[in-house]
Amino acid sequence: MNIFRFCGDMCHLFSILVLLLKIYATKSCSGISLKTQELYVVVFLARYLNLFTAFISVYNTVMKVVFIGSSVAIVCCMRWHHAVKRSYDRDLDTFKYQFLVLACFLLALVLHEKFTFLEISWAFSIYLEAVAILPQLVLLQRSGNVDNLTGQYVFFLGAYRALYILNWIYRYLTQPHFNGWISCFSGLIQTALYADFFYYYFISWKSNSKLQLPA
């Protein structure tokens, strides 16, 4: 494992911790897209189907369990915790994410490394993760104002993907047989989706003002 992947994993983990802090400390999920969180559940379940059949390392196994468990916990809390679900922005979170799931599944059937169930499932999860943030970004754009914890959550998610691009570049330069074109392609698309958010995040940080996205 190289430093870029490790830092990317830590940014991903920290984004989840920030989101859990927001939900459990404030008893609010205002500004958080349930649809994006549900997409992440699908992403992790599809990607880690080999959790109990292929052991790589303790670190790898622990991270798989953490990502699956935390994503399921967030969705359950937003759906069924009485105090939290009352703050859910249902009228703003209306993105038709079913089309994303279908498009990514069809793409995985066409573009994959091997025509096996696990490989297609893995490719599907990579494609879906690339666009899973869209409902969240649309919700933030509709609401305009972004609270600090929600802004930090989205920022660290974007940083995680940006660091993974550096990880793939490093592996391409140092591993002669590295073949990660699906991950690189999807990662570039996902990072590009964050570009507008990063711009306004930097502006708010530089001016020490509240993060606001244009409607």
Amino acid identity, position 130? A
Q: What is the pLDDT of residues 146-205, one digit of tens each?
A: 888 888 999 999 899 889 888 888 888 888 777 777 888 888 888 888 887 887 788 877
Report pTM: 0.90
C-alpha–C-alpha distance, residues 54 and 70, integer Å: 21
Where in the chain are the domains?
3-205
- Give the DSSP letter of residue 19: H
C-alpha 132/C-alpha 14 separation (Å) is 18
Tell me the C-alpha distance between 138 and 31, whole Å. Answer: 10
Q: How far apart are CA 172 and CA 134, in angstroms?
A: 29
Task: Classify residue 206 as exposed, middle or buried by CB count within 10 Å of its CB (0-12, 13-18, 19+).
Answer: exposed
Task: Output Rg (C-alpha) for the chain, integer angstroms.
Answer: 17
Mean pLDDT on 129-137: 93
Q: Which of 149, 154, 153 is nearest to 194 (CA)?
A: 154
Residue 212 or residue 56, greater confidence: 56
